[in-house]
Structure 1
Amino acid sequence: MDRRVLFASLILFAGGATGVGVALFAFVGIDDGATDAEIVWESEPVAGDDGSGAVVATVDGDPLVIQSTLDDGDRVVRATAVGGDVEWTTPVSGGEPAESDDDPPSISGLVSDTAGDDAHRVVAFTTGSGTLVVLDANDGTERFTADLGGDGGIPPAIGDLDADGNGEIAAVTTDGSALAFDPDGDGDATFETDLDAPIDRRPLIVEAGGRSDGGANSEGDEPDSESVHGLAVATAGGDESAIHLLDGDGDARWTTTPSVTPLSWSAADTRSGPVLALGGTNGNLETIEVADGSARYEIGLQDLPVAVGDADPGRIHVGGAGSVWAVDLLDGEVVWKQQYGGETRVNAPGVADVDEDGELGPVAVNRDGRVLVLNRNGEVTGRADISSVVYAAPSFADVTGDGSDEVLVVTEDGRVVALDG
């Protein structure tokens, strides 16, 4: 069918004493005129990872897909260039395996960004036995390792934690410790804070508000709030979750109890200040003010868990059972909802300009491997079915050298599929 809006009005109802908004909103029908995305490159499957821990790092202009894999039964981290050449392979160090001496070490998902005085691209992860490992993304050499003093296996975070213009690395342990490290140091923690509650979510380094680089916020406007830098950590104690924001010295700026039990979360900047966006197990989206830990809004999207993805100017994108939403960051209004058909869970959406229209738009992948490329209005411009189970959010890189990003999807068996949207 042609693109059309089936419901044009957006009506928000108060949720009674809970303060939760319930929305009827613009529903955007899937456009049968959307193009089928072309597979431009596909790698061989690899053992040892379900795809959710892979990252893309661009080194000297060339994208590398970096994965945790097994090599003759040993855990390694491997970087594969477009075309399939393995650029480097690094054995995983960091103590005894988590399960037994006969099993390869378990590790967290990978993260990659620039860090340190030289703004060098690094790859970081934690082992289940409690070691932070930081590698040089260029060649896989070990930059440093650090003992976390407790069990790990949770992805670390990389970002400018203390507003000095250089990226730091933060990691957490499952028993409740949060630590920060200077990538140019010798592996000693710059702070260690005991939050006295279990941690099972990745930490977030918040770099938001008035930016030292003079850039604009996620809504495309010059920010009018003061700069906020810190480490956000989610803890769980019994039936109650807590969110903590630590400063660059590891001291608590605030602690708050969210209304939702967060399944996933992300940080985003707005012209009214930065927020943490929490996707609840109850299907609600809640946003927390980074400035003071107060709630900005909570809105019900569905009655099943939702996954928070990336933000584009002014909006956060959320995946749920069979649907994708774009939600206004300021007031929680649902700008549009796009349905896949069926109730298959949709992974956290990513955001990029893959259709070369000069605007960022979301890309979503569901667990069955169906891909939707959407524009800012929620209309589908491209789609694909890679016929594999996918647990990972989409990644993006210019794999064809044409100056625009393609969509990269890593499947359950470690296969990398690059799509030209």
Structure 2
Amino acid sequence: MDRRVLFASLILFAGGATGVGVALFAFVGIDDTSIDTEIVWETEPVEGDDGTGAVIASMEGDSVVLQSTVADGERAVRATTVGEGVAWTTPLSALAVGDRGGDETDDPAGISELTSGTLGGDPVVAFTTDSGSLVVLDAADGAERFVVETDAPGGLQPAIGDLTGNGESELAATGADGTVLVVDGDGDRLFETDLGESVDRRPLIVEPTDSTPTDDADLGGLAVATERDGNYTVHLLDERGETRWTTTPAVTPLSWNAADTRNGPILALGGANGNLETIETEDGSLRYEIGLQDRPVSVGDASPGQVFVGGVGSVWAVDLLDGEVSWKQQYGGQTRVNPPGVGDVDGDGTVAPVAVNRDGDTLVMSRTGEALTRGGVGSAVVYAGPLFADVTDDGSDEVIVVTEDGRIIALSR
């Protein structure tokens, strides 16, 4: 039997939950003809970053990896130009933020995972501090763009996106106490509201599918997941901060992402029970729920028509419209796979899914799940999904892996 493609029928269920699907899918085995990766660039470790907060920003043809670090005993943000070296480092003491003190153990003040994007046409990096500051730096040089103070405890990754559909991006941040703040590209407050319940997940900006939406299916919004007594509620707020709808997800969402489909945008939630749930942003109704395994799964990036999900030893491509599992790829035994990403690794203008597991084993796949490239970063622990940048100037993306000790490693086919 050809071990590369095995067809199997998988009955998927989750305790009788409504909408849990049954799927027929292709199991795609590792192909012995896949190409091994090689490490083409690597940095030294850096204190203060376990890899999960690193992001990529592009500026004038160059890409930089942005990390939260500790420099001279205090928290800082550092930018490293891919293939080269450190471009700039900005410590919190250089910024007009509130209380920067550490906790009783004298650890440096904490900040959230970073978010990169564009505000007013300029590449930026944004984060929140534990003390409640929303900070935006210019990605080009690390200079402070603006700081907005809130009365809420911070530490949650903010979101950048076009909330209103006017072609300009806004910035959304949530406090752990349920405070929601949205500002424009200049840092001016568009709205601030209090949802009255705790928040422990990053907010998601769902961009409108049309600048002049004709019905609710075209509308975007700001998705926030709140928690009370172990029960989660998903809220979708409009551009004025008014609640458009709320819903109670069937899964306990450990991860989530937003994606576009031809039937309108959805929210994809990775559950603690191993189920993937998708919610219509039009009205908060369930599109589908499907069981993938009996252990937690992590929602990664989406490409046209599919969302990629990581679990223990497996990666799935799930159809965004009906929840059919297009394919399942297994690698790395029983090691957890981080949220998969997508990048143009062939330089042909199309994206391919890429997965990295906790042992640093990487796998580049085709849209049909075929293994194209596999490799690893050596002896390292990796908690983050892959990043992408053209390190070798060959017109295709290299896979960027940031390890637990803050090393940045670029892998090429």
Aligned residue number for residue 200 of structure 1:
200
Taking the TM superposition and a 5 Å limit, the aligned residue runs for 1:265-344 are 265-344=256-335
Residue 399 (structure 2) pairs with residue 407 (structure 1): yes
Task: Choose 326-335 or 347-356, whichever is displaced more.
Answer: 347-356
Aligned residue number for residue 167 of structure 1:
169
1:390 to 378, 382, 389: 382
C-alpha distance in structure 1 between counterparts of 2:23 and 2:292, whole Å = 7
C-alpha distance in structure 1 between counterparts of 2:145 and 2:119, whole Å = 11
Taking the TM superposition and a 5 Å limit, the aligned residue runs for 1:410-421 are 410-421=402-413
- Describe the SS at the equivalent of 1:165: coil
1:377 is displaced (CA, Å) by 0.7
- Describe the SS at the equivalent of 2:308: strand
1:178 to 174, 177, 180: 180
CA offsets 1:118-157 (integer angstroms, 9 cap, x no match): x111100001111111000111000011112111100000
C-alpha distance in structure 2 between counterparts of 1:170 and 1:156, whole Å = 6
Aligned residues of 1:66 and 1:78 also touching (Cα < 8 A): yes
Q: Which amino acid aligns with 2:36?
A: D
1:23 is displaced (CA, Å) by 3.5
Aligned residue number for residue 149 of structure 1:
151
1:240 is displaced (CA, Å) by 1.1
1:374 to 354, 365, 368: 365
C-alpha distance in structure 2 between counterparts of 1:243 and 1:115, whole Å = 27
After superposition, the Cα gap between the structure-2 partners of 1:235 and 1:365, relative to the gap in structure 1 and judged at 3 Å, is same
Taking the TM superposition and a 5 Å limit, the aligned residue runs for 1:5-154 are 5-7=5-7, 16=16, 18-92=18-92, 93=95, 94=97, 95-100=99-104, 102-116=106-120, 119-154=121-156
- Describe the SS at the equivalent of 1:25: strand
C-alpha distance in structure 2 between counterparts of 1:319 and 1:299, whole Å = 14
- Describe the SS at the equivalent of 2:207: strand
- Describe the SS at the equivalent of 1:26: strand
C-alpha distance in structure 2 between counterparts of 1:198 and 1:404, whole Å = 42
Aligned residue number for residue 220 of structure 1:
none
Task: Choose 260-269 or 23-32, whichever is displaced more.
Answer: 23-32
Q: Which amino acid aligns with 1:392?
A: A
1:2 is displaced (CA, Å) by 5.9
Q: Which amino acid aligns with 1:123?
A: V
Aligned residues of 2:38 and 2:412 also touching (Cα < 8 A): yes
Q: Which amino acid aligns with 1:320?
A: G
1:11 is displaced (CA, Å) by 6.8
CA offsets 1:302-325 (integer angstroms, 9 cap, x no match): 111100001111000000000000
Aligned residues of 2:165 and 2:208 also touching (Cα < 8 A): no
1:85 is displaced (CA, Å) by 2.2
C-alpha distance in structure 2 between counterparts of 1:262 and 1:244, whole Å = 13
Aligned residues of 1:98 and 1:128 also touching (Cα < 8 A): no
After superposition, the Cα gap between the structure-2 partners of 1:290 and 1:71, relative to the gap in structure 1 and judged at 3 Å, is same
CA offsets 1:150-196 (integer angstroms, 9 cap, x no match): 111000000111222101110000011111011214xx422111111
Aligned residue number for residue 229 of structure 1:
220
1:14 is displaced (CA, Å) by 9.8
Taking the TM superposition and a 5 Å limit, the aligned residue runs for 1:208-219 are 208-210=208-210
Q: Which amino acid aligns with 2:71?
A: D
Q: Which amino acid aligns with 1:399?
A: V
C-alpha distance in structure 2 between counterparts of 1:32 and 1:256, whole Å = 46
C-alpha distance in structure 1 between counterparts of 2:306 and 2:27, whole Å = 16
Aligned residues of 2:207 and 2:220 also touching (Cα < 8 A): yes
Aligned residues of 2:338 and 2:383 also touching (Cα < 8 A): yes
Aligned residues of 1:315 and 1:329 also touching (Cα < 8 A): yes
- Describe the SS at the equivalent of 1:47: coil
Task: Choose 377-386 or 9-18, whichever is displaced more.
Answer: 9-18
CA offsets 1:83-125 (integer angstroms, 9 cap, x no match): 3421111111422335148331100010000113xx1111000
Task: Choose 397-406 or 295-304, whichever is displaced more.
Answer: 397-406
1:342 is displaced (CA, Å) by 1.5
Task: Choose 4-13 or 32-41, whichever is displaced more.
Answer: 4-13
- Describe the SS at the equivalent of 2:388: strand
After superposition, the Cα gap between the structure-2 partners of 1:370 and 1:310, relative to the gap in structure 1 and judged at 3 Å, is same
CA offsets 1:303-351 (integer angstroms, 9 cap, x no match): 1110000111100000000000000000000000000141111000001
C-alpha distance in structure 2 between counterparts of 1:259 and 1:199, whole Å = 18
C-alpha distance in structure 2 between counterparts of 1:358 and 1:144, whole Å = 35
C-alpha distance in structure 2 between counterparts of 1:65 and 1:204, whole Å = 22
Q: Which amino acid aligns with 1:273?
A: G
After superposition, the Cα gap between the structure-2 partners of 1:370 and 1:191, relative to the gap in structure 1 and judged at 3 Å, is same
After superposition, the Cα gap between the structure-2 partners of 1:302 and 1:133, relative to the gap in structure 1 and judged at 3 Å, is same
Q: Which amino acid aligns with 1:292?
A: D
1:17 is displaced (CA, Å) by 5.6
1:13 is displaced (CA, Å) by 7.3
Aligned residues of 1:242 and 1:257 also touching (Cα < 8 A): yes
**What's the RMSD between the two structures over aligned residues?**
2.1
